[in-house]
Amino acid sequence: MMKPLCDGGYKAPNLAKCLDDISVRFRLPDELIREDRGADAGRLIEEISSLQESDVRSYAARMSSREVETLLLSLFDDRAGRRRERLERLLLLRFSKRIVVLIWALFAYHYKAPVMERLATMAAVYIEANDLDIPQALMLNAAAECRSSSVEVEEALAEEVDRDGGHLNGFFRKYELPGESPLAAAVVKRFLSSCGRKGFTLNEGWALQLIRSGEPVDAILENYIGSLDEHDYILKINLCIIDTMGRPVRPEDWPGISGRCRQKFLRWCFYKELQDYYTGNQVKLRFFSGYLPHVKDARRIAQDEGPGMMVVDFGEFKIIDTAGDGDYSFLCDNAGFGRIWGDEGPVAETEKLMGAREYILEDVQDEMTRLSFHAVGTLYAKEMLDILLGLIPDTRASQRLLASKSALRRAGPGLEAL
Reply yes or no on whether the pLDDT at 131 is more than 60: yes
Mean pLDDT of 149-164: 87
pLDDT band for position 148 (50/70/90)? low
pLDDT given for residue 271 in this prediction = 94
CB atoms within 10 A of CB 85: 8
pLDDT given for residue 5 in this prediction = 44
CB atoms within 10 A of CB 52: 7
pLDDT given for residue 414 in this prediction = 52
pLDDT band for position 405 (50/70/90)? very low
CA 336 to chain centre: 42
CA 243 to chain centre: 14
Reply yes or no on whether the pLDDT at 418 is more than 50: no
Would residue 237 be called left, alpha or beta, if left means φ above 0 and alpha means ψ between -120 and 50 degrees?
A: alpha
Question: What rounded mean pLDDT belongs to the chain?
Answer: 84
Position 68, amino acid: V
> What is the sign of the dihedral through the CA atoms of 162, 164, 167 and 169?
negative
Exposed e or buried b for every residue in 311-347, given b needs 16+ CB within 10 A? Answer: bbbbeebbbbbbeebeebbbbbbeeebeebbeeebbe
pLDDT band for position 2 (50/70/90)? very low
Reply yes or no on whether the pLDDT at 23 is more than 70: no
pLDDT digits (tens, 9 = 90+) for 92-117: 999 999 999 999 999 999 988 888 88
Reply yes or no on whether the pLDDT at 354 is more than 60: yes
Please give the residue that has the higher pLDDT: either 170 or 76. Answer: 170
pLDDT given for residue 6 in this prediction = 47
Reply yes or no on whether the pLDDT at 207 is more than 80: yes
Reply yes or no on whether the pLDDT at 55 is more than 50: yes
CA 17 to chain centre: 47
Mean pLDDT of 327-343: 76
Give the closest residue to 284 by CA, choosing from 295, 274, 294, 276.
274
The burial of 175, by beta-carbon neighbours within 10 Å (0-12 exposed, 13-18 middle, 19 or more buried), is given as: buried
* DSSP letter for each residue of 205-269: HHHHHHHHHTS--HHHHHHHHHHS-GGG--HHHHHHHHHHH----STTSSTTS-HHHHHHHHHHH
**Distance between CA atoms of residues 267 and 273, nearest Å:** 10
> Strand, coil or helix: what is 6?
helix
Give the closest residue to 127 by CA, choosing from 105, 153, 161, 101.
101
Give the closest residue to 267 by CA, choosing from 237, 310, 318, 229.
229
**Distance between CA atoms of residues 204 and 222, nearest Å:** 16
Position 274, amino acid: L
**Distance between CA atoms of residues 47 and 211, nearest Å:** 49
Mean pLDDT of 243-265: 93
Mean pLDDT of 57-80: 87
Position 400, amino acid: R
pLDDT digits (tens, 9 = 90+) for 180-195: 999 999 999 999 999 9
Bridge partners of residue 320, in order along the sequence: 311, 330
**Whole-structure pTM value:** 0.78
Give the CA distances from residue 377 to residues 297, 327, 329, in Å, rounded to whole numbers and listed in that order: 24, 9, 11
**Distance between CA atoms of residues 311 and 275, nearest Å:** 13
pLDDT given for residue 291 in this prediction = 95
Are 134 and 102 spatial neighbours (Cβ–Cβ below 8 Å)? no
Give the closest residue to 46 by CA, choosing from 70, 12, 19, 66.
70
Mean pLDDT of 285-309: 86
